[in-house]
Amino acid sequence: MLFNSFAFLVFLPVVFVAYWWFFAGNVRRRNLFLIGASWFFYAWWDWRFLGLILVSTLADFLIGAAIYRSSEPRRRLWLLGLSLAINLGILGFFKYFNFFIDSFASLLHGIGLQAHPPVLQIVLPVGISFYTFQTLSYTIDIHRGLIRPTRDAPAFFAFVSFFPQLVAGPIERARDLLPQFERPQRFDMDAARDGLRQMLWGFFKKIAIADTCAPIVDKIFAGDPAGTPGITLFFGALFFAFQIYGDFSGYSDMAIGMARLFGFNLSRNFAYPYFSRSIGEFWRRWHITLSAWFRDYVYIPLGGWRDRLGRTRNLIITFAVSGLWHGANWTFIGWGVLHGVYHLPAILTDGRSQRDDATLRDLPRIVLTFLMVTLAWVLFRATSIDHAAGYLRYMVANALFHPGALILHLSKPELGLIVVLLIAEWIARHHDHALKALSASRPIRWTIYLVIVAAIILHLDLRTSHEFIYFRF
């Protein structure tokens, strides 16, 4: 079920009313209800894949308890390996089987051997990359002694399958979210209202920004780069930068806001990443929960930042794996590696990270960082490495300044919406989301909300089903 679908428009109020009126008073019943609602939400796509969630959840619930009970280090390590094998095995089979087989065949072909490996028609279960990482962090943290396993099975199952964040995150840690399922929730009017505002902003980003940019991006990326003006290729990348931001951060806003309606606090996933002044800062602001996951469970175990060489190696490996997490294609790995390479100047000069918020004086560095990120998005969006290379080559070769194409793209109404987004988020950059900063009187606030709803209605594309990009990952 998509958040931006009519079915969800019915689902959410029904679940909200049932939750607060009939189930919220008893933690166990509430969690069982949330599990049922979440599984129904997921089964709307394909009920058969519920089995995978069940296997992953049950395995980590049992393995987590077994790791905690065991005092034998080898047995604990073996149990952790079992959890990794189950979760990464599911992920590897459903997401990467054909990729690895194809790549292996290409490798053999490269050294002169012919291979005809089997290709399976595998459907990628929605959200598999998210919930497997979430459950994995649970067993790893128990193994590290950071958390104790829960004995409350419904709480754990609800933690894994909680519908607002089941299919595209934020990827939550057990230590943050699981306790919220183990204790009673009180309805918090201010949090719920703010949750609705955050959802509204998320819908705006998804429908008025991402979905309106999508057809422009699709058309430009589907064309032959050789015959396209460089400025058009540049705008294709630029619109994609906002499409993916609107799509994914919009989803995260909806998920976080929705969770607050039910009394749960999810982790922040985006913090205005396009206002970053460096690539390092960008990654502290973009898909924060995934970046933190890779930092804690890949980068630091690899050795972290002991010396420059090690740091460079570990960073490149971490970003390459992060790229692979996004999709079974060399373009994603290339995208990850490029971001790793982007970090090199900061590593080599021991650049210090900035924690304060950006000001207008930082504009040149913000623009430079944004351009670097946008160029990298070409790899992310392209269908192959060759496509990406051609796209980037012709972007520069085909007369970047082309007055006709420039005027055409600058006059696109979608660009106006992007400007509105940027202004609103710049004003609100010290807050969690753009509508939190509104301190005007109620009539003015409601007028603003109505204008946003009108923008959503006027840009709602009922002719196409606009899934969220990150559902594919």
Partner 1 sequence: MSSSTSASEPGSGPGALLRSVAFFSALVLLPLAALLRWGPPVTPVDYLAAMTAKHTRLRALPSPKVLLLGGSNIGFGMDSEMLEEALCRPVVNMGIHAGLGFRFMVNEVKDALGPGDLVLVALEPSNVARPEKQGDVHYQVVDRVPHAIHYIPWFDRPRVVSGIAVLRAQSLWRIMRGRWTTDGGHPLYRADGFDERGDMLAHLALPRPEAFETDGLDDDAPAVGRAFLPMARELMGHAERNGARVVFTWPGQAFTGFDATRTVAIQAAFHDAGLPLIGEPHRFVFPDTAFHDTRYHLRTEGRALRTERTLAALCEWDPAGCCAMQ
Catalytic residue positions, numbered: 326
For residues 225 and 233, is the Cβ–Cβ distance under 8 A?
yes
CA distances (Å), origin 423, targets 187, 219, 221, 418, 466: 33, 27, 28, 9, 25
Residue type, 249: S
CB of 18 to partner 1, least distance (A): 11
If binding is defined by CB under 8 A, does position 462 make contact with partner 1?
A: yes
If binding is defined by CB under 8 A, does position 453 make contact with partner 1?
A: yes
For residues 57 and 127, is the Cβ–Cβ distance under 8 A?
no
# binding residues, partner 1 (CB under 8 A): 29
Residue 402 Rama label (left phi>0; alpha psi -120 to 50; beta): beta
| From candidates 78, 93, 100, 446, binder to partner 1 by CB under 8 A | 446
292's tokens: 């933190």
Q: Which candidate, 130, 401, 122, 398, places its Cα nearest to that of 255?
A: 130
If binding is defined by CB under 8 A, does position 6 make contact with partner 1?
A: yes
- Segment interacting with partner 1 (CB under 8 A) among 36-44, 100-108, 269-277, 453-461: 453-461
- Segment interacting with partner 1 (CB under 8 A) among 97-105, 111-119, 301-309, 460-468: 460-468
If binding is defined by CB under 8 A, does position 16 make contact with partner 1?
A: yes
Instruction: State which residue, 423 or 453, has the beta carbon closest to partner 1.
Output: 453
**Exposure pattern of 329-357 as b/e (b: 16+ CB <10 Å)?**
bbbbbbbbbbbbebbeebbeeeeeeeeee
If binding is defined by CB under 8 A, does position 20 make contact with partner 1?
A: yes
CB of 264 to partner 1, least distance (A): 13
CB of 257 to partner 1, least distance (A): 13
- Segment interacting with partner 1 (CB under 8 A) among 6-14, 90-98, 135-143, 301-309: 6-14
Could you give the CA distance from residue 304 to residue 312 in angstroms, rounded to a whole number?
A: 9
Residues 184-213 that bind partner 1 (CB under 8 A): 184-187, 189, 192-193, 196
CB of 127 to partner 1, least distance (A): 20
Residue identified by tokens 């609800």 is 158
If binding is defined by CB under 8 A, does position 457 make contact with partner 1?
A: yes
| From candidates 449, 466, 467, 471, binder to partner 1 by CB under 8 A | 449
251's tokens: 């989803």
Instruction: State which residue, 184 or 404, has the beta carbon closest to partner 1.
Output: 184
CA distances (Å), origin 66, targets 60, 99, 134, 157: 9, 34, 18, 17
| From candidates 317, 460, 466, 467, binder to partner 1 by CB under 8 A | 460
CB of 444 to partner 1, least distance (A): 14
- Segment interacting with partner 1 (CB under 8 A) among 148-156, 273-281, 308-316, 451-459: 451-459
25's tokens: 């008073």
CB of 191 to partner 1, least distance (A): 10
Instruction: State which residue, 74 or 463, has the beta carbon closest to partner 1.
Output: 463
Instruction: State which residue, 47 or 305, has the beta carbon closest to partner 1.
Output: 47
Could you give the CA distance from residue 380 to residue 221 in angstroms, rounded to a whole number?
A: 12
Residue numbers at the binding site for partner 1 (CB under 8 A):
6, 10, 13, 16-17, 20-21, 24-27, 184-187, 189, 192-193, 196, 263, 446, 449-450, 453, 457-458, 460, 462-463
